[in-house]
Amino acid sequence: MSLLIETCIRNPKLSKYVHLLGYKKYIQEGNEGEIRRTTIYATTKQEFINKLNSIKFTKSLIFCKSNNAEVIRECIKTKNVSAIVLDSSNINIIRKKTILNMIRFNNKIIDVWLPFSSSYVISKVVIWGYKWFNNILFSSCASKFNEIWNPISKINFLVIHGADEELATYWIYISPMVLIRNASNNN
């Protein structure tokens, strides 16, 4: 039996609903929750380094989001960064195969924020998932109850966007566990 994990909840009051939808655990954005995540937003390499150095709680998974290719490259190379966040606002920074190769070489996980991603983003990431990297997270990033995606809806959504059922199921069930395992190995 696998451990089903929702990879982004922004409101701690949603924990009971996450469990009702079938998730065993969830990753809470911020300082609360059993498993925490901190998303670093940076526009320059120096800003990223400063924000990374300012993170005090080491039990937090670190995610990186930027519209700057230089910052993304730095995030990919940084061991403490667990995943790179992609959505409609920054998908275009991955224009070259060099960044895709860096992601694969450094074994980084891609985190796609579903509420902020167009069909184009989902389809593009699904295609990349077949060729460039194994582990992709598809996060609800919910602040309200109606924003939480249940696991079956996520799988169906990915199948509609070109994933086969087996790979979509892997991404929803297994990739979050790989994230947790990789993060615990880095600490």
The predicted-structure confidence for 143-172, as pLDDT tens digits, reads as follows 999 999 999 999 999 999 999 999 999 999
Banded model confidence at residue 186, pLDDT cuts 50, 70, 90:
low
Three-state SS string over 108-155 comes to: CEEEEEHHHCCHHHHHHHHHHHHHCCCCEEEECCECCHHHCCCHHHHH
Q: Looking at residues 13-17, what average pLDDT do you find?
A: 92
Domains along the chain with CATH numbers? 5-186 (3.20.20.140)
Contact between residue 40 and residue 49 where contact means Cβ atoms under 8 Å apart: no
pTM for the full model? 0.93
Contact between residue 60 and residue 37 where contact means Cβ atoms under 8 Å apart: yes
